[in-house]
Chain A
Amino acid sequence: MAGNVITVDRNQKAGVLPILKGHWITLQNLWRSLFLRQASTIQYPEQKRPVSSRYRGIHVLTEREDGTPKCVACYMCATVCPAECIYIESGERPEKTIEKYPTRFEIDLLRCVYCGFCVDACPEEAIIMSRENDLVGTTRAELIIDRDRLMARGKLVEHGAGYRPDDHDVRRPVRLKALERLETEHGIVPGMPAAKAPRA
Chain B
Amino acid sequence: MPQCSIDGKEITVSAGTTVIRAAEQIGIHIPHFCWHPDLPVDGNCRMCLVEIEKMPKLQIACNTHVSEGMVVRTASDKAKEAQRATLEFLLVNHPIDCPVCDQAGECYLQDNYMAHGLYGSKIELEDKVRKRKLVDLGPILLDAERCVLCSRCLRFEDVVTGTNSLQFVNRGDHTQIATFENGPVTHDYAGNLADVCPVGALLSKDFRFKMRVWFLKSKESVCPGCSTGCNVFVDERDGEVQRLRPRRNPDVNKSWMCDPGRALYKSIGVTERVSGARVRGGAGWEGVSVRAALDRVASALKDAGASSAFLATPQGTNEDVFAFQALAEAMGGKLDFRVGDPQLKLQQRIDNVLQRADRNPNTQGCLDLGLGRDGVAAILSACRAGSLKALVLQGPELLRIPETVDAIAKVPFVVVMATHEGAELDRATVVLPAAMWAEVEGTFTNYDRRVQRLHAAVPAPGDAQPRFELAAAILSRLGKPLGAATAREVFALVAKATPGYAGLDYRAVGAQGQSLAQAAGTAAAPEARA
Using a CB–CB cutoff of 8 Å, the interface residues on chain A facing chain B are 72-76, 79, 90-92, 96, 98-100, 123-124, 182, 186, 188-193
Contact = CB atoms under 8 A, between A and B. Distances in A.
A192 B99 contact: no
Interface in B130-145: 133-134
B472 to A, nearest CB: 38
Given A76-B99, A182-B118, A192-B124, A96 B133 contact: yes
Contacts of B118: 182, 186, 188
A74 B100 contact: yes
B120 A73 contact: no
A90 B120 contact: no
Contact of A188 (B119, B133, B134, B214): B119
9 interchain residue pairs of minimum CB distance: A190-B120, A74-B99, A100-B100, A90-B209, A75-B212, A99-B100, A72-B100, A72-B99, A191-B120
Contacts of B208: 92
A76 B104 CA distance: 11
Contacts of B529: none
B122 interface: yes
B92 to A, nearest CB: 14
A91 B209 contact: yes
B98 to A, nearest CB: 8
Contacts of A191: 120
Given A79-B212, A96-B133, A96-B134, A124 B120 contact: no
A190 B99 CA distance: 21
Q: How large is the interface on B (under 10, 10 to 19, 20 to 34, 35 or more residues)?
A: 10 to 19
A99 B134 contact: yes
A193 B122 CA distance: 7
Nearest to A123: B99
Contacts of B99: 72, 74, 76, 100, 123-124
Contacts of A182: 118
Contacts of B121: 190
A81 to B, nearest CB: 12
Nearest to A93: B100
Contacts of A72: 99-100
Contact of B209 (A92, A186, A192, A193): A92
A192 B133 contact: no
A181 to B, nearest CB: 10
Interface in B98-121: 98-100, 104, 118-121
Contacts of B214: 79
26 contacts: A72-B99, A73-B100, A73-B209, A74-B99, A74-B104, A75-B212, A75-B215, A76-B99, A79-B214, A79-B215, A91-B209, A92-B208, A92-B209, A99-B97, A99-B100, A99-B133, A100-B99, A100-B209, A123-B99, A182-B118, A186-B118, A188-B120, A190-B121, A191-B120, A192-B122, A192-B124
Contacts of A123: 99
Interface secondary structure of A, over-half rule = loop
Contacts of A91: 209
Contacts of A76: 99
Interface of B: 97-100, 104, 118-122, 124, 133-134, 208-209, 212, 214-215
Q: B99, B208, B215 — which one has the most chain A CB atoms within 10 A of its CB? A: B99
Nearest to A74: B99
A90 to B, nearest CB: 4
Nearest to B208: A92
A96 B121 CA distance: 25
A24 B31 CA distance: 78
Contacts of A79: 212, 214-215
A182 B99 CA distance: 24
Nearest to B80: A186
Contacts of B119: 188, 190
A130 B104 CA distance: 30
A196 B120 CA distance: 18
A36 to B, nearest CB: 57
B143 to A, nearest CB: 9
A57 to B, nearest CB: 25
Contacts of A96: 133-134
Nearest to A179: B120
Nearest to B212: A75
Contacts of B215: 75, 79
Nearest to A181: B118
B238 to A, nearest CB: 11
Contacts of B100: 72-74, 98-100
B154 to A, nearest CB: 25
Given A76-B99, A99-B100, A99-B134, A189 B120 contact: yes
A192 B127 CA distance: 12
A182 B104 CA distance: 23
B189 to A, nearest CB: 25
B126 to A, nearest CB: 12
Contacts of A124: 99
B213 to A, nearest CB: 10
A72 B100 CA distance: 6
Given A98-B100, A124-B99, A188-B118, 5 more contacts: A73-B100, A79-B215, A186-B118, A190-B120, A192-B122
Nearest to B119: A188
Contacts of A75: 212, 215
A76 B99 CA distance: 8
Contacts of A98: 100
A189 B120 CA distance: 7
A91 B100 CA distance: 11
A74 B120 CA distance: 23
A184 B379 CA distance: 80
B210 to A, nearest CB: 8
Nearest to A186: B118
A72 B124 CA distance: 21
A123 B215 CA distance: 19
A74 B98 CA distance: 8
A185 to B, nearest CB: 9
A85 B433 CA distance: 34
B151 to A, nearest CB: 25
